[in-house]
Structure 1
Amino acid sequence: MRKTYRDRKINNKISQKFKEFQTRNGIKFNDEKLLMQAFTHSSYVNEHRKKPHEDNERLEFLGDAVLELSVSQYLFKKYPTMSEGELTKLRAAIVCEPSLVMFANEVKFGEVVLLGKGEEMTGGRTRPALLADAFEAFIGALYLDQGLETVISFLDKVVYLKVDSGAFSHVMDFKSQLQEYVQRDGPGTLEYKILQEEGPAHNRIFVSQVSINNEVLGEGAGRSKKEAEQHAAQMALGKLKEE
């Protein structure tokens, strides 16, 4: 009797965690078993063999493919002048393990993942590979439960927002994109000029301006001249595409 009560208490606690997770992220699963499976690590299954738990490895396999497709579609539409090689490089940066861990931490996956006692005691909740796998598994579960559009809506808030804010600008060559874009309208030479340098030597900030035929296209700041020029080119591209 005591064991049954304890099990019920544990199950209620797990159920409450998943409800809070869904509320926090504006998601409601039709099949909550899928959500639970997405966060069930193999170590948890091994310690609860009497119950029909299934780990998240198969969902991780599916989620990996869904994530790659979704990110590819987003980048293809957002950056029409970007080459195949640049798109591949950027996608790789977005779906690599460190990025997936960043996304997983953003939505607090570590709080809801189900672990065995051994994995829990050795810091499983913060283990990068585990969090990255859980993120992919969750994407797979969400796809099965509600389809690609819901997955894209979730990625809009967690992943694409970071891309838009420049979190992956270090792997994007905006200067080449801008050069290609302006050459469509005829010959012209882009000119980059450093407008400002400020701050101590170890924490320098540069402000760059890009122009063509004396027409200013954009300005940007960065911790190096190269980074400032890339941000200026990014701003210029955004401005030109709005016109």
Structure 2
Amino acid sequence: MSDDTRAWLEATGFTVRDEEMWLAALTHGSMGEKRDYERLEFLGDRVLGLSIANWLYRQSTAPEGKLAQRLNAIVSREMCAEVARGIGLPAHIRISKQAHADGGRNSDNILGDVVESLLGAQYLDNGFEASREVVELLFRPALESGAGKAKHPKSALQEWAAGNQRKPPEYEIIERSGPDHAMTFTVRVRVHRVGEAEGTASSKGEAEKAAAKEFMEKYG
């Protein structure tokens, strides 16, 4: 690990002990190395979810449904990628030249995965309490901004259709483009006898969300 990357990790709030593990946390599969970030990302996803759930529970008296709504928004791939860009993560990802040329270093999916892999490394190297503190530090802007308080676009559309005695919205992927690690999805949502709208994003879920939001702006 370079001195620059280690200094960046520690300035960001992480504590580096096992350098090989932290190097794996920053390594994309395209490098073809024995260890990459995937297993750590699996663990970090759970660390992030529990940390955010803990914060929301302690800071709010909202009912379960509202807590779940905020949790889903804050731990979303889009939000994780926003955090990644905010801390300057793209420059430190170890990724092949081809994957970089294909836009991988700026992919929401990859950036979100690496944020979670770093949280997994923090947990293994320093324990849950230290991991929770880093999560609250990195995600504080989202937590304090009220992210997720507004209803998720797909939920809003579902309720709108039911309230207007329409069939449930139907989502369809109409286009996939780009390499596997930097895929772009375009989704169409249709409500029978009302209309349709489209959304494009770097994941199927975010494209559906964008399509639902567009639909509500056009017809809601």
TM-score (ref. length: structure 1): 0.59
Q: CA deviation at 1:166?
A: 3.4
Q: Which of these residues, 98, 107, 115, is aligned with residue 135 of structure 1?
A: 115
Give the aligned length. Answer: 152
Moved more, 57-66 or 163-172: 163-172
Residue 72 of structure 1 aligns with an amino acid whose one-letter code is A
Equivalent residue for 1:67?
A: 48
Q: CA deviation at 1:167?
A: 4.2
Equivalent residue for 1:90?
A: 70
Q: Is the 8 A contact 2:15 2:126 kept in 1?
A: no
Who wins on radius of gyration, i.e. which is larger? 1
- Is it true that 1:32 corresponds to 2:23 in the alignment? no
List alignment gaps of at least 5 residues for structure 2.
Answer: 153-220
Fraction of identical pairs, as percent: 30
Q: CA deviation at 1:169?
A: 4.1
Map 1:100-119; keep pairs closer than 5 Å.
100-119=80-99
- Once residues 120 and 161 of structure 1 are traced to their aligned partners in structure 2, the CA distance between those partners, rounded to angstroms, is 29
- Once residues 42 and 22 of structure 1 are traced to their aligned partners in structure 2, the CA distance between those partners, rounded to angstroms, is 21
Equivalent residue for 1:55?
A: 36
Superposition CA RMSD, Å: 1.7
Runs of 4+ in 1 over 4 A off after TM superposition: none
TM-score (ref. length: structure 2): 0.64
Equivalent residue for 1:155?
A: 135
The verdict on how the C-alpha distance between 1:139 and 1:23 changes in structure 2, with shifts beyond 3 A counting, is: closer
Q: CA deviation at 1:154?
A: 1.1
Map 1:1-243; keep pairs closer than 5 Å.
14-44=1-31, 46=32, 53-80=34-61, 82-171=62-151
- Once residues 33 and 150 of structure 1 are traced to their aligned partners in structure 2, the CA distance between those partners, rounded to angstroms, is 19
- Once residues 72 and 38 of structure 2 are traced to their aligned partners in structure 1, the CA distance between those partners, rounded to angstroms, is 21
Residue 51 of structure 2 aligns with an amino acid whose one-letter code is S
The 3-state SS of whatever aligns with 2:139 is helix
The 3-state SS of whatever aligns with 1:115 is coil
Residue 89 of structure 1 aligns with an amino acid whose one-letter code is Q
The verdict on how the C-alpha distance between 1:26 and 1:68 changes in structure 2, with shifts beyond 3 A counting, is: closer
- Once residues 119 and 47 of structure 2 are traced to their aligned partners in structure 1, the CA distance between those partners, rounded to angstroms, is 7
The 3-state SS of whatever aligns with 1:132 is helix
List alignment gaps of at least 5 residues for structure 1.
Answer: 1-13, 173-243
- Once residues 69 and 139 of structure 2 are traced to their aligned partners in structure 1, the CA distance between those partners, rounded to angstroms, is 16
